[in-house]
Amino acid sequence: MNTSPERLWEECLQLLRGRVPDQTFETWFKPIKPLDIDQKKLTVQVPSHFFYEWIENHYRELIAAVLQKVSGNGLKLAYSVVYTEDDHQVAPPPAPMGSNQVFSRQQQVESYLNERYTFENFVEGDNNEFARAAALAIAEAPGGTSFNPLVIYGGVGLGKTHLAQAIGNKSLQDGTARRVLYTSSEKFTIEFINSIKNNKTTEFSEHYRNVDLLLVDDVQFFQKKESTQEQFFHTFNALYQAGKQIVLTSDRAPKELSGMEERLLSRFQAGLIADIQPPDLETRIAILQHKAQEDGIEISYDIIEFLAANITSNVRELEGALIRLLAFSSLSNTDITVDLAKRVLREIIGKSFSSSVSIEDIQRTTGEVMGVGESEIIGKGRKQEVARARQLAMYLCREMTHSSLKTIGLHFGGRDHSTVVHACKVVEDKMQKDSDLNQQIKSVKHKLEIGQF
* Residue 161 touching Mg ion (CB under 5 A): yes
Among Mg ion, ligand ADP, none, what does residue 128 contact (CB within 5–8 Å per kind)? ligand ADP
141-160 footprint of Mg ion as x/- string (CB under 5 A): -------------------x
> In the bound complex, what is the minimum distance in angstroms from residue 215's beta carbon to ligand ADP?
12
> In the bound complex, what is the minimum distance in angstroms from residue 120's beta carbon to Mg ion?
19
Q: Which amino acid is at 94?
A: P
Helix (H, G, I), strand (E, B) or coil at 77: strand
Kindly tell me which of 246 and 405 has the beta carbon lying closer to Mg ion: 246
Q: Give the C-alpha separation, 21 to 158, whole Å.
A: 21
Sole binder of ligand ADP in the list 65, 82, 156, 281 (CB under 6 A):
156
291-330 footprint of ligand ADP as x/- string (CB under 6 A): ------------------------xx--x-----------
Among ligand ADP, Mg ion, none, what does residue 388 contact (CB within 5–8 Å per kind)? none
* Residue 145 touching ligand ADP (CB under 6 A): no
* Residue 158 touching ligand ADP (CB under 6 A): yes
Choose the stretch contacting ligand ADP; rule: CB under 6 A; options: 151-159, 292-300, 340-348, 360-368: 151-159
The partner residues of 45 in beta bridges, in order of sequence, read: 33, 80
Kindly tell me which of 218 and 361 has the beta carbon lying closer to ligand ADP: 218
Q: Give the C-alpha separation, 275 to 255, whole Å.
A: 13
Are the beta carbons of 217 and 249 closer than 8 angstroms? yes
Cα distances (angstroms) measured from residue 339 to each of 16, 183, 322, 342, 404 = 51, 42, 14, 5, 27
Cα distances (angstroms) measured from residue 382 to each of 250, 367, 377 = 60, 15, 10
Q: Which amino acid is at 416?
A: D
DSSP annotation of 241 reads H
* Residue 183 touching Mg ion (CB under 5 A): no
Q: Which of residues 72-131 bind ligand ADP (CB under 6 A)?
A: 121-123, 128
Task: Tell me, by CB under 5 A, how many residues bind Mg ion.
Answer: 2
Kindly tell me which of 287 and 396 has the beta carbon lying closer to ligand ADP: 287
Sole binder of ligand ADP in the list 5, 157, 175, 243 (CB under 6 A):
157
Kindly tell me which of 95 and 253 has the beta carbon lying closer to Mg ion: 253
Following CA atoms 429, 435, 437, 440 in sequence, which dihedral angle do they give, to the nearest 10 degrees? Answer: 150
Among Mg ion, ligand ADP, none, what does residue 437 contact (CB within 5–8 Å per kind)? none
Report the length, in residues, of the chain: 453
How many CA within 13 A on the CB side of residue 278? 12
Q: Which residues contact 167 (CB under 8 A, 6 or more apart)?
A: 135, 138, 139, 142, 150, 213, 215, 247
Chain residues binding Mg ion by CB under 5 A are 160-161
Chain residues binding ligand ADP by CB under 6 A are 121-123, 128, 154, 156-162, 287, 315-316, 319
